[in-house]
Structures are given as structure tokens and as C-alpha cells.
Chains A and B, each alone.
Chain A
């Protein structure tokens, strides 16, 4: 059984903790930077979210968001920060797959791979 040794399990847990916290902090910093840019640029706008119009394509797809963010478009930068946030739990699961493989725990390798597959399907669909 994997993680029979308390020490390796503890290490695994603290690594996951560091990863989650790092991802959230990075995401929050990027979102905040984009937010300041957004408010400075569009301060005169009157926001209206009463009617739903789906977001434009450059704010809906991973590659387009990255391109927008690289061009320092305010909304693209915020969206990129949100993408980092969404990727954080995905990275946590990917890390777990590697950890279970290194522990030769094939049952949990399969379980975490299945979860990773579902997450990647969601991120890459459409």
C-alpha cells in the first residue's frame, strides 16, 4: 500500500499545499494587475450585466486569452489570471499522478489519471 511511511505522505501533502497556495497567489496578483489596468482604461463605462451576451472569442479560448494577456489587454490579463486559477487544481491532480506512480500505487495512479482526463477534457473541449 502506498504511503505506508508517514513521512513520505506528510511530504506529499505539504508539497500539494505549497502548490495550491502558490497558484492562488499568482492568479490573484495577475487578476489584480489586470483589474487595475481595466479600471484605469474603462473607468467611464457603465457596466450592465443584466442581459447575457456570451463573451467574445478572445476571452473564451486558452490560446486567445494568452495572446491577449501578452499584449497586455486589460480584460485578457484578468482572464489569464483566472486561467491560472483554474489550472491550479489541475496541476495538483497531475502532481498526484506522478506521486502515485513513484509510489507504485497503480490503483490510485489510475484513479487520479481518470480525474485528470476529465479535467483536461473540460479545459480543451469546444
Chain B
């Protein structure tokens, strides 16, 4: 056992690394910080989820300012889909109190495996739909993004499918204390055929609001411990902001591969521990 100062500094250092790697690989800090706290520091998964959720809000809001300036985020798409993610987040936060922690650990492991896969797999071409979508048009979702000094227009498709996937992403966010960035990007990039860079920045924009919807419930339920959340939030925030700064010049392909494999191993361990009821 450590004293309080050592414990806090170790957690802060680990969270810094989680924020840095999460930002460089695009996985996000949450999927790294929860296994780190539970498997390495033997923190109860409820405290880990509470602290992670808070750090997720910090990263999202901290990075959104820069992305908004670059002009990639589609605010209308974000606002509209936040209806789905916040409703899902409420559902996830309610579920979190009703299902055993071992089951939460297993679900977490499965989501982690999926994240590892998205990090390892080769980037696939997104099908282009030329036809415009009636719902997207009525909601005014189509947008433009800057490329080579010009504005490129794009259409948004399959809005109901994207909305449904966003509800699932919100539920997982509220249940597991993560941003669910991978699933949010899947919903926009693959289902709604929104350009990748627009999808990732809009996803980041939405993550803060999604997490805030379950954070209130977590707070009332006593999952957010100030002594633990303090080093986690500060560490992840600084790590993520540093990651965002060095990302444009970094070669992340190898990092993503190595890290994807490591995350897959951690996922198996989470599932194993959950199955044996050790969490």
C-alpha cells in the first residue's frame, strides 16, 4: 500500500499516459483509464468509472475549442445526435446501478476488444452515396469541410440508423464511463457516410455532453470520489492536450498497431476477471 501522496502521483502519471496514448491512437482516455485503475491499482470499478467519466468531459471540452476553430465539426449533426446519446447515457447510468459489477467488466472487455480492432484494422473506403437524404435535408445536416484551402461539400445519409447507433453509444458511455468515441465515429463515418475527419471531430464535440448526462447521476449515486477523480482528471487532460499538439507530426500507424494488441490483451483480462467474478 502507498501513502496518499505517492498514490495520487502514480495515478496522475498513469492518467497522463492514458490521456496521451488515448489522444494519439484516437481511442480516447476512458477505455485506458478504467482498466488501469481496476487491474493495476485495484480500484473498485464504480469509482474507476466515475473518475473516468469526469476526465472524458475534460478532454472533450478541452479539445473541442481547437477543432471548432479548424472548421471540421458539424455542429448541427452533433446537436441532433446528442438527443440520442444523452437519452442513451441516462439509460446506461440507470443500468450501471442495476447490473452486477462483474457483468459491467465483461461488457467493458467486449467494447475494449472492438476498440482494439478499430485501431488495428486497415482503413476501409467509405461508400459514397450521391443521392440526398430527405431527413438529413429537413434537418439541415449536410455540411462542408476545409480541404486544400477549399470547402468540400458532403451529404449526410441514413439518419435513423446513425441515430440508433448513437443511442447505443450513449448507453455504453453511461454504463462504462467512457466517451464511446469509436462507436460514435462508426455511426457517422460508416452509417451516415460523413467524412472521417468531420466524424472524429464532431464525435469529440458530442462526448462532453453525452458524459455530462450520466455524470450528474453518478455524482448523486456517490461514484465520483474527489481524491481519485482529481489526479485522473488533471492527468488525462494534460496528456490529451499534449497528444493533440504532437499528433499532426506523429507517425501513429505503428503505435496504433502495438497499442491495439496491448488493449486486446487487457480486454481479455477484463472479461476473464469478470467471468470469475473477481471484479
| Binary flags per residue of B44-61, CB closer than 8 Å to A gives 1, else 0 | 101100000010011011
Are B220's CB and A60's CB within 8 A?
Answer: yes
Give the chain A neighbours of B65 by CB distance below 8 A: 17-18, 20-21
**A118, closest chain B residue (CB):** B86
Interface residues of B in 58-77 (CB under 8 A from A): 58, 60-62, 64-66, 68-69, 71, 73, 75-76
Check A45/B219 contact, CB under 8 A, given A21-B61, A34-B226, A52-B44: no
Does A90 make an interface contact (CB < 8 A)? yes
Closest Cβ–Cβ distance, residue B4 to chain A (whole Å): 5
Minimal Cβ-Cβ distance residue in B for A65: B219
Which A3-55 residues have a C-beta within 8 angstroms of B? 12-14, 16-18, 20-21, 23-24, 27-28, 31-32, 34-35, 38-39, 42-55
Q: Contact flags (1/0) for A53-69 with B, using CB distance below 8 Å?
A: 11110011100000000
| Residue B126 interfacial (CB < 8 Å) | no
Would you call A123 and B216 a contact (CB within 8 A)?
A: yes
With an 8 Å Cβ cutoff, the count of chain B residues facing the other chain is: 65
> CA A46 – CA B226 in complex, angstroms?
15
Q: Are A85 and B58 in contact (CB under 8 A)?
A: yes
- What's the minimum C-beta distance from B166 to chain A, rounded to whole angstroms? 12
- Which residues on the A side are within 8 Å of B23 (C-beta)? none
Set of chain A residues within 8 Å of B58, measured between Cβ atoms: 24, 27-28, 85
Partner of A122, one of B8, B57, B214: B214
Name the interface size band of chain A: 35 or more
Known contacts: A24-B62, A49-B47. The answer to whether A108 contacts B79 by CB under 8 A is yes
B76–A108 touching, CB < 8 Å: yes
B217 engages A126 (CB within 8 Å): yes
B226, A79: Cβ atoms closer than 8 Å: yes
Stretch at the interface among B28-36, B229-237, B243-251: B229-237
Interface segment, one of B108-116, B205-213, B259-267: B205-213
| Nearest neighbor of B44 in chain A, beta-carbon distance | A52
Question: Closest CB of chain B to A37's CB: distance in Å?
Answer: 11
Shortest Cβ distance from residue A100 to the other chain B in the assembled complex, whole angstroms: 9
Q: Are A107 and B4 in contact (CB under 8 A)?
A: no
Who on chain B is nearest to A40 by CB? B5
How far apart sit A27 and B90, CA to CA, in the bound complex (Å)? 23
Asked if B2 and A31 sit within 8 Å, CB to CB, the answer is no
In the complex, chain B residues whose CB is within 8 Å of the CB of A31: 230, 233-234
Interface hits, A71-126 → B, CB 8 Å: 74-76, 78-79, 82-83, 85-90, 92-93, 96, 107-108, 111-112, 114-115, 118-119, 121-126
Would A39 and B5 count as touching, CB distance under 8 A?
A: yes
The reply to whether A55 and B224 contact each other, CB–CB distance below 8 Å, is: yes
A: residues with CB less than 8 A from B are 1-2, 12-14, 16-18, 20-21, 23-24, 27-28, 31-32, 34-35, 38-39, 42-56, 59-61, 74-76, 78-79, 82-83, 85-90, 92-93, 96, 107-108, 111-112, 114-115, 118-119, 121-126
Contact sample, A vs B, 9 pairs, CB 8 Å cutoff? A13-B71, A24-B58, A54-B223, A85-B233, A86-B219, A88-B57, A118-B213, A119-B86, A121-B90
